[in-house]
Structure 1
């Protein structure tokens, strides 16, 4: 029944999603040109609120839970499992006070309304996976910006999306690179559940009446511990929260 409803409701959501992207392309440009970083960031925050809202036309919901007393004004590395591209808009919106930046494929910096422009000027890291030196350089630059501006970053340590929601082994190389430049960053796991269900049939039809949850888990102080151990701890906490321990 959910899939059947998706055939009727998906076109509405897809049209609205791309309409929002097209509307915010010139909005972002104007905000950045006239108001600099602060105005541009505000436009990106609102963009991602609107993108998240489009999925409510499917009957889907997104619930964000944060019972942790996270510091504002200190760099944070948020480590999240990755289930679909739909993870990103609610993360940007709900983590907006932490100035969370993303690590993206360099290919996404071209020809995608709103998204490409934000990736170019928003302060994240755009990496070429075929060029290890470029990738490391970009991550180190991101770490330096985090240190200088007290920004944060969102990393998906699995490296790719999990199509069935099962958490893949976390990789630590990117996090280690950022910590070299920003060693006092706090590590915070985020458990994402059910976003893969929304796209289990692909982009059409999108699934309906799915409850997506994002839960911030207990922070991890680096304290000079080996990065592999820190990342493994974050992975285990996420697995436990998702019932995959």
Structure 2
């Protein structure tokens, strides 16, 4: 569990300055090339480039001393189609998933704030086919999630959702929102559900921005895939069992 009250150390600051510079320069310098790739080569090439971008951005976190361990890769079948369901710990989540599960090339359910003002990131979210939702407009959000689900089913995409919505600052998985997850699962049936536990992101961002916490051991734990519930099952109860699976290693 992350200590959200820990004071920043000198090491946190000295490692965060070059790391944040690499993050900023990478996002700024890649925005126009990503747009050109999408225009000249198409959406799938854009997604491939986005995963290379994530790999470079992970190197910025590595500059702080962060390490990433991936557990359970044997549970992934690259030929299968998945709905990835993960806990939410912060900005690093998408970078970790894109790095650790790169062969799945997932699209995401992303909050509206990420769709504007973030060089490279905002363009990747909006142009890749990911869903952009405003939590203050729930009906429109559900419609956008359903649109993503239909597109994913038609195109054979994998999709990732963070049912907590708001990141857990202490690393503990909160109560999950049922409606959006159910809408996405219903639209993507009959795909498998892939529970994923993300560990360390809340510690990396314990100071709510800069500095990053130095020497964080991060982990992406992939659990065995599970079948979606039958339409007659209690979806909220089923989702709670998935939450417990994800929480079991946090």
Deviation digits for residues 74-93 of structure 1, max 9, x if unmatched? 43111111112112212122
Q: Aligned in 2, Cα 1:63/1:204: closer, same or farther, shift over 3 Å?
A: same
Deviation digits for residues 171-208 of structure 1, max 9, x if unmatched? 22111101222221211111111221111123222110
Establish whether residue 169 from structure 1 lines up as the match of residue 183 from structure 2: no
Residue in 2 that maps onto 1:40: 46
| Range moving further from structure 2, 91-100 or 110-119 | 91-100
Deviation at 1:223, TM superposition (A): 4.8
Establish whether residue 89 from structure 1 lines up as the match of residue 95 from structure 2: yes
Establish whether residue 110 from structure 1 lines up as the match of residue 116 from structure 2: yes
Residue in 2 that maps onto 1:240: 248
Deviation at 1:2, TM superposition (A): 7.4
CA contact (8 A) 1:2 1:209 kept: no
CA contact (8 A) 2:15 2:64 kept: yes
Gaps of 5+ in 2: 1-6
CA contact (8 A) 1:101 1:152 kept: yes
Q: Which of 234, 237, 245 is the matching residue for 1:226? A: 234
Deviation digits for residues 69-110 of structure 1, max 9, x if unmatched? 333344311111111211221212222322311111223222
Establish whether residue 11 from structure 1 lines up as the match of residue 7 from structure 2: no
Q: Secondary structure at the match of 2:248?
A: helix
Rounded Cα–Cα distance in structure 2 between residues aligned with 1:85 and 1:161 = 9
1:186-197 to 2 correspondence within 5 Å? 186-197=192-203
Residue in 1 that maps onto 2:149: 143
Rounded Cα–Cα distance in structure 1 between residues aligned with 2:29 and 2:234 = 45
TM-score, normalising length from structure 1? Answer: 0.93
CA contact (8 A) 2:75 2:222 kept: no
Gaps of 5+ in 1: none
1:73-84 to 2 correspondence within 5 Å? 73-84=79-90
Rounded Cα–Cα distance in structure 2 between residues aligned with 1:23 and 1:226 = 48
Establish whether residue 21 from structure 1 lines up as the match of residue 27 from structure 2: yes
1:46-85 to 2 correspondence within 5 Å? 46-85=52-91
TM-score, normalising length from structure 2? Answer: 0.91
Q: Aligned in 2, Cα 1:21/1:6: closer, same or farther, shift over 3 Å?
A: same
Deviation digits for residues 42-85 of structure 1, max 9, x if unmatched? 11010001111111111111112224433334431111111121
Q: Secondary structure at the match of 2:228?
A: coil
Query: Paired residues, what number?
Result: 242
Establish whether residue 209 from structure 1 lines up as the match of residue 209 from structure 2: no
